[in-house]
Structure 1
Amino acid sequence: MNWGQRGAGPRVVGRTTSVKAVLRAFAFCLAFSALWIAQQTPVQAQQFTLSTITVEGNLRVGDAAILTRAGIAPGQTVSAAELNAAFQRLVDSGLFEDVDFAPSGNSLRITVVEFPTINRISFEGNRRIDDEALAAAINSNERRVFNPAQAERDAELIADAYATEGRLSARVTPTIIRRSDNRVDLVFEIFEGDNIEIERLSFVGNRAYSDRRLRRVLDTKQAGFFRAFVRADTLIEDRIEFDRQLLRDFYQSRGYVDFRVNSVNAQLAEERDGYFLVFNVQEGQQFRFGEITVTSNVPGADADLYREIARIRPGVVYSPSLVENDIARMERQALRDGVDFLRVEPRVTRDDRNLALNIEYVLTRGPRVFVERIDIEGNTTTLDQVIRRQFRSVEGDPFNPREIREAAERIRALGYFETAEVNAREGSTPDQVVVDVDVEEAPTGSFGFGASFSNNDGLGFVIRFAEENFLGRGQRLSINVSTAEDSERYGIAFQEPAFLGRDLTFGLRAELAETDSSFTTYDTERILLQPSLTFPVGESSTLQLRYTIEQSEMTARETPENGVVIGNEIAVGEQTSSSIGYQFTYDTRIGGLDPNSGYLLQFSQDFAGLGGDSQYIQTIARAIGETKVFNEEVTLRASLEGGALTWSDGTNRAVDRFLNNTNIIRGFEPGGIGPRDLSVSGEDPLGGNLYLAARFEAEFPLGLPEEYGITGGVFYDVGNFWDLSDVNTAGGTIVGEGGSFRHVIGFAVLWNTPVGPLRFNFTEAIRKEDFDRDQSFELTLSTTF
């Protein structure tokens, strides 16, 4: 594929001589010298001695340096051919604008015109790339000797920079303007041209997956409605090569082991303003895992034990990552068993008849090689210890190439570095290995100013500061300020991912929240402080232990009038709760056996009563499942969650109980279902000590061009909030205490815009109570800019 090259030769403007004319003068001098030598035929056959050599015209380069470059010296005997070669060496040195050899008898006069010094480098016509970025891309420098060939190369570098931005028609012309004292200004005249978009991105040979699905895999995108914001729709060679690898990884992780990209063709449109990009692919057949066996050649390594460790089962769609995960588990088990230098070699046997791949894990003894040391370079901010703790092995441990590769991936996954290269080399002895880590720091701090909108909270603004590598220690610090018409929230969060040098995450969260919601007759204020410790208890599971101290208060407004129950709770005043709790999470959505399916299980409890004004147990359980069907075109989600609040002492208030919001059951206002006090016009929602909700949703394409980022969805929600045990309801007109399950159906339009995700929910409550407050339309927007 021809990607095109741009750039033009240097020229001179004003009262100067064209550099092209200078080059023609070089050729004329060379021809004249060759003619002079040709006329000296009787002399050519003889050797002669140059008794004197004089150099004229040089200001910066000394006589001795010129003679050294030419390769001749006074008193040296040379032939005419050698003299011509000396002349050519000076011409090719790139130091002189003009060179002249004038031999006379046994003497030689060399006259040179040195290239001028670059006085100033400037760029004209550039708007898309600023001067600083262009200056960093070129090799010419001010106060250095001007070199026409280097100027040509710099023009190509500038054109390449524009090509990376998708402006393949950019042209760059280097121009010189002569100044006094043999100085020149070097000007790069730039014609940026237009962005050449990818008008259409298509595939040939794909049967299992549609063009729409494969486009989502690629980093390259089609030009779409938001072309001014999205810059991934330009033709860039490096990006195309990256897309090839993305396609291979996508297919191989789904069992297509014979997949390959035959070619990538880019055809320029007739208007020359866009490309049609076509990936020609060959999918092959999908393979699944066949028989899984383990054999051991290592004493002390029981093959049956290691077979139980393997999680792959016959019939599962083949994926190389699953094999890698099994090997990593077995090698970790070997370390626990004290079997050093164990290596697991996967041997794959194809069963083309059954479209299966039989895997035999062979346990062998690897070479006795140890880690001598780990050298880290390039980290100017990040401490060495942050990088070192990504390695499971330290100096003196047995060397495991797989573990080193995994450590490299963990270092890259930190997000602290632009590049991270990890390589092993031989150490001081053949049985020692030095691991070299070479990194390049990347910015890790961010400051965001954003906006949000919902028809529940109104228009709001968000200010966020985050530092992912605080003080170079790998710690995370974030400060958030969120303000909306009906609520304000201020928060700070800190996280130490390697507390006490272990795989233990320490977190600290502090929040201040105030609400004056139009859906209630009272305002609230909360202050929360929560330290926590989180650690893994399995490959896909974590356990969090936390302590929470919270101070909250309900305050009355002048209007509307509060109900009896809410009035009693407001009269209690400020309340403090002190609790310890835990949360267990099991998540297979990342790293599970199926790349298209996964589920989340979560269970948490908080026990209040360690001081404070309240004693209660709050329990919440949640299960979420997701899968993709119809060749991954449709995403199905289902969730089930519920909670129970068991009160022992203190005042059970509405701010402590469970209240509905659109994250639980859609189609109703906040607190729109559940027990309610009808004793006043405000009809305050009271919440419930118990709740149960289920959500089912399908997301699918609407047939619109995928570059618009618009998809559709249908959903069905069912749930209920009930129970007011331990609540003083005397004097109130309470409805819904026993509760009934509400049912909602809806249609959603999801628009993933460059300024944030938009979601439009259109709902209909097909079963509700007369006192419920439903909501048939909901719009949410969140963005950072």
Structure 2
Amino acid sequence: MAACWGAFTQSVSLFKKLRFTGLALLAFLVTTLVVNAQSYTFNTVQIEGNQRVEQGTILTYAGIARGERVSAGRLNDAYQNILESGLFESVELEPRGSTLIIRVREFPTINRISIEGNRRIKDEAILGLLQSRPRRVYSPTVAERDAALITQAYAQAGRFAATVTPSIIRRSDNRVDLVFDISESGVIEIERISFTGNRDYSDRRLRRVLETKQAGIFRQLIGRDTFVEDRIEFDKQVLRDFYLSRGYVDFQTLNVSSELTRERDAFLITFNVREGQQFKFGQVRAVSLIDNVDEEDFQDVINIRPGVTYSPTAIETVITRMERLALQKGLNFVRVQPNVSRNDRQQTLDINFEITRGPRVFVERIDIEGNTTTLDRVIRRQFRIVEGDPFNPREIRQSAERIRALGLFANAEANVREGSSPDTVIIDVDVEEQNTGSLNFGANFNANDGIGLAVGFRERNFLGRGQSLSFGFNTSADNASYNFGFAEPAFLGRDLRFGIDLRYATTDGRFSDYATTLARFSPSLSFPVSENGRLSVRYALQQDEISDVEDDSSQLVIQDGDAGALITSSVGYSYTFDNRVTGLNPNAGILLRFSQDIAGLGGDREYLRTVAFLGAQTAVLNEEVTLRAIFEGGAINTFDGNSRITDRFSGNGKIRGFEPNGYGPRDLNAENEDAVYGNIFAAARFEADFPLPLPEEYGISGGAFFDIGSVWDLDDDLGGTIDDDLILRSSVGLSFLWTTPLGPLRFNFAQPLSIEDYDNPQYFDLSISTSF
């Protein structure tokens, strides 16, 4: 009985549901039939309220023709089409017999745009972001989009809580003033950058790689301690490049987390990385897959040796060398592909550089866009290929890198697309120009010369030709110098740099009892002679004069003063070798300079002047400590008598712990005990820079140094009254290096070890810190 009653109850419930569904379906069908059954035929369409928009334009949006039978649904579609045109605030369609009345209210015209509440971003910068413009139709959608763009600009500046509210003020003649009311909020800085998963390199070392920085004491000037998402993506790439160049081929940035602090006033950024193992090069050899091509010739250009830490830069360098050799042998369309064999047990990578024949593809043309100031030829000369040459993808990438290295463009990209035929390509070069000129006003301070004024102007893209133009002056309490320089980097259309330098300088230092005046004109030419070597040749015409010599000065100085102004005409050369950037070891580099000048081509002076410089540095202890060694030396050999004091070497700055002119030959018989300098100098400096247990955001690190050297030898020692023998001086000391927006400052505290009675020690000096 219960089962029967349950079945009956379910049947009744099902019947009710079916009855309700049927009634709903019936109501929908009736409504649809009624709506569709209601139709209109309009012989006249009357438009009201339009001022700027033509009637024909409104009719086109409506899509209703005279005499056409129109349903109520079609009228609704016409209403939506007119409203969605974005030209009207409101739209109304009123059927009145055989007449359709369309009433519209047009959006007003923007009279002016005002920006209020902004202090950190200027009006001009904000207006440049907007799509809304005066004398254009106001659109609420566009205004909201503009507000979002302004908010994004503030987020890029680290002000994530900034709000922008657009509003309008109605004026006569259907015009409005569009106002963007901005609440800027405060800057949300990056309080801490940390890493997880790093074992071989400390957080401190990895933070130095990143473009993003922690907030420091100069946060108002640096501007890189705010959270910018695009900058984080860039940091991930440079972090990968850092590890790859050190042999960590499996390195990954797993994720980057950014969290707001509890007070919501700063970001905490954490890079989660996986370092992997460090690999070295194993066997490296060239393999030819082209008949009649001797692979031994290509083996000779491989400069990678087994056991060296793996680096992608080394691979690219060898490929470039091999492809260049192939061109020299007249082999076109040759491609070099590195085939890598991995040995996880020994942690080595064997490289086979396979020499193959690539597809026969030619360059049809090179199209350049984006350069409004820079001439096309400045960009084109960075390509080693021209129209009609065989296409080489690697050469295109390297050309783009050379364009970016010019420093004239914010960005430069070179992309390839198919040309007019399958065997040709078109190279599209897209550049974004940036400001290349600078005008600097500043003050400088030197512990020896005091406070000075510096003004300088430099243009690196003069008249869009890629030429460099500079001039300026630098003064201190006792010295002044005026400089002018011009350089053409591609003289005669070749990799030949032509330069002209003009200089006028006066000195009246407190470390000497005379004044000097120098005027110099020097044209020069420089060109590469090897992968890391460059040779420069020059001519110099110089006039120098020693004046205001005191009566109680050294007889050598008095003689030079009596000689008056002398003309020196000389030719010279300089050779420079620098692998600090292009070397296989990213932690070490060498800089070598050797120059000689021969005077005697006319003028009043005849001598040979030789100067040499060798500097090397490397990073140790997981790159926490930088070791540096510098060796310098110079000699002047005269052919016409005694050397002049302005030609001899003073040794200033070569050995810390001594005042300028504080060591070397000195005339002790003169009342002023003048330093008279020497014909030869030599110095060696050994330095170590290391971190200090201070908050990293202070930008302060430590250093230690040991200097040794001397200045000696005179053509005339005044009958033996001047000691010009080789007497070594030396000093040790500690340094504090402070990275500031004005430049890296170095505070040196020195203690002379080897010192003569007549030397003048200096226990402290302040200078700009340099690597070499």
The one-letter code of the counterpart of 2:722 is I
Which of residues 645, 651, 661 is equivalent to 2:652? 661
- Report the CA distance between 1:125 and its aligned residue: 0.2
Q: How does 1:246-265 map to 2 (within 5 A)?
A: 246-265=238-257
2:669 is the alignment partner of 1:679: yes
Which of residues 99, 102, 109 is equivalent to 1:110? 102
Which of residues 514, 518, 523 is equivalent to 2:515? 523
User: What is the CA–CA distance in structure 2 between the aligned matches of 1:173 and 1:583, rounded to whole Å?
Assistant: 63
User: What is the CA–CA distance in structure 2 between the aligned matches of 1:382 and 1:356, rounded to whole Å?
Assistant: 46
Which of residues 318, 323, 326 is equivalent to 1:326? 318
Tell me, which stretches of 5 or more residues in structure 1 are unaligned? 1-36
Which of residues 299, 307, 311 is equivalent to 2:303? 311
2:446 is the alignment partner of 1:461: no
- Report the CA distance between 1:106 and its aligned residue: 4.4
Residue pair 1:744, 1:764 contacting (<8 A) in 2 also: yes
Residue pair 1:454, 1:781 contacting (<8 A) in 2 also: no
Q: How does 1:212-251 map to 2 (within 5 A)?
A: 212-251=204-243
- Report the CA distance between 1:233 and its aligned residue: 0.7
Between 1 and 2, higher relative CO (CA 8 Å, sep ≥ 6) is seen in 1
Aligned residue pairs: how many?
743
User: What is the CA–CA distance in structure 2 between the aligned matches of 1:556 and 1:61, rounded to whole Å?
Assistant: 85
Match of 1:11 in 2: none
The one-letter code of the counterpart of 1:229 is L
User: What is the CA–CA distance in structure 1 between the aligned matches of 2:84 and 2:134, rounded to whole Å?
Assistant: 22
Deviations 1:374-426 (A, max 9, x none): 22233222222211111111122111111111111111111112332222222
Match of 2:58 in 1: 66
- Report the CA distance between 1:480 and its aligned residue: 2.3
Match of 1:727 in 2: 716
Residue pair 1:452, 1:780 contacting (<8 A) in 2 also: no
Which of residues 617, 622, 644 is equivalent to 1:626? 617
Residue pair 1:564, 1:679 contacting (<8 A) in 2 also: no
Match of 2:702 in 1: 712
Match of 1:351 in 2: 343
Farther off after superposition, 760-769 or 93-102: 93-102
Match of 1:26 in 2: none
- Report the CA distance between 1:758 and its aligned residue: 2.0
Which of residues 557, 561, 566 is equivalent to 1:570? 561
Farther off after superposition, 373-382 or 356-365: 373-382
Residue pair 2:549, 2:558 contacting (<8 A) in 1 also: no
Residue pair 1:640, 1:693 contacting (<8 A) in 2 also: yes
Which of residues 96, 101, 116 is equivalent to 2:93? 101
Segments of 4+ moved more than 6 angstroms: 37-40
- Report the CA distance between 1:715 and its aligned residue: 0.2
SS at 2:690's partner residue?
strand
Deviations 1:17-57 (A, max 9, x none): xxxxxxxxxxxxxxxxxxxx998963523654333332221
Which of residues 256, 262, 265 is equivalent to 1:270? 262
Match of 1:21 in 2: none
Residue pair 2:35, 2:73 contacting (<8 A) in 1 also: no
User: What is the CA–CA distance in structure 2 between the aligned matches of 1:276 and 1:400, rounded to whole Å?
Assistant: 45
Residue pair 2:368, 2:376 contacting (<8 A) in 1 also: yes
Which of residues 30, 41, 46 is equivalent to 1:54? 46
2:178 is the alignment partner of 1:186: yes
User: What is the CA–CA distance in structure 1 between the aligned matches of 2:432 and 2:423, rounded to whole Å?
Assistant: 30
User: What is the CA–CA distance in structure 1 between the aligned matches of 2:248 and 2:311, rounded to whole Å?
Assistant: 9
User: What is the CA–CA distance in structure 2 between the aligned matches of 1:458 and 1:446, rounded to whole Å?
Assistant: 26
C-alpha distance 532-553 of structure 1, shift in aligned 2 (>3 A): same
C-alpha distance 296-738 of structure 1, shift in aligned 2 (>3 A): same
User: What is the CA–CA distance in structure 2 between the aligned matches of 1:38 and 1:492, rounded to whole Å?
Assistant: 92
Deviations 1:282-331 (A, max 9, x none): 11111111111211112342111111111111111111121111101100
Residue pair 2:286, 2:298 contacting (<8 A) in 1 also: yes
The one-letter code of the counterpart of 1:760 is F
User: What is the CA–CA distance in structure 1 between the aligned matches of 2:593 and 2:56, rounded to whole Å?
Assistant: 81
User: What is the CA–CA distance in structure 2 between the aligned matches of 1:309 and 1:634, rounded to whole Å?
Assistant: 34
Q: How does 1:444-593 map to 2 (within 5 A)?
A: 444-558=436-550, 561-593=552-584
C-alpha distance 212-776 of structure 1, shift in aligned 2 (>3 A): same
TM-score (norm 2): 0.94
The one-letter code of the counterpart of 1:598 is G
SS at 1:624's partner residue?
strand
Match of 1:780 in 2: 767
- Report the CA distance between 1:224 and its aligned residue: 0.9
Farther off after superposition, 44-53 or 618-627: 44-53
Match of 1:23 in 2: none
Deviations 1:319-349 (A, max 9, x none): 1121111101100110000001000011111
User: What is the CA–CA distance in structure 1 between the aligned matches of 2:441 and 2:361, rounded to whole Å?
Assistant: 52
User: What is the CA–CA distance in structure 2 between the aligned matches of 1:471 and 1:38, rounded to whole Å?
Assistant: 79
Which of residues 578, 589, 594 is equivalent to 1:603? 594
- Report the CA distance between 1:557 and its aligned residue: 4.3
C-alpha distance 232-193 of structure 1, shift in aligned 2 (>3 A): same
The one-letter code of the counterpart of 1:775 is Q
The one-letter code of the counterpart of 2:129 is A
Match of 1:32 in 2: none
Which of residues 635, 642, 648 is equivalent to 2:626? 635
Calculate the aligned-residue CA RMSD, in Å.
Answer: 1.9
User: What is the CA–CA distance in structure 1 between the aligned matches of 2:195 and 2:117, rounded to whole Å?
Assistant: 38
Match of 2:749 in 1: 762
User: What is the CA–CA distance in structure 2 between the aligned matches of 1:706 and 1:505, rounded to whole Å?
Assistant: 42
The one-letter code of the counterpart of 1:586 is F
Tell me, which stretches of 5 or more residues in structure 2 are unaligned? 1-28
User: What is the CA–CA distance in structure 2 between the aligned matches of 1:412 and 1:738, rounded to whole Å?
Assistant: 52
Residue pair 2:549, 2:557 contacting (<8 A) in 1 also: no
Farther off after superposition, 144-153 or 414-423: 414-423
Residue pair 2:656, 2:731 contacting (<8 A) in 1 also: yes
2:687 is the alignment partner of 1:697: yes
SS at 2:655's partner residue?
coil
User: What is the CA–CA distance in structure 2 between the aligned matches of 1:189 and 1:204, rounded to whole Å?
Assistant: 42
SS at 1:248's partner residue?
helix
The one-letter code of the counterpart of 1:727 is D
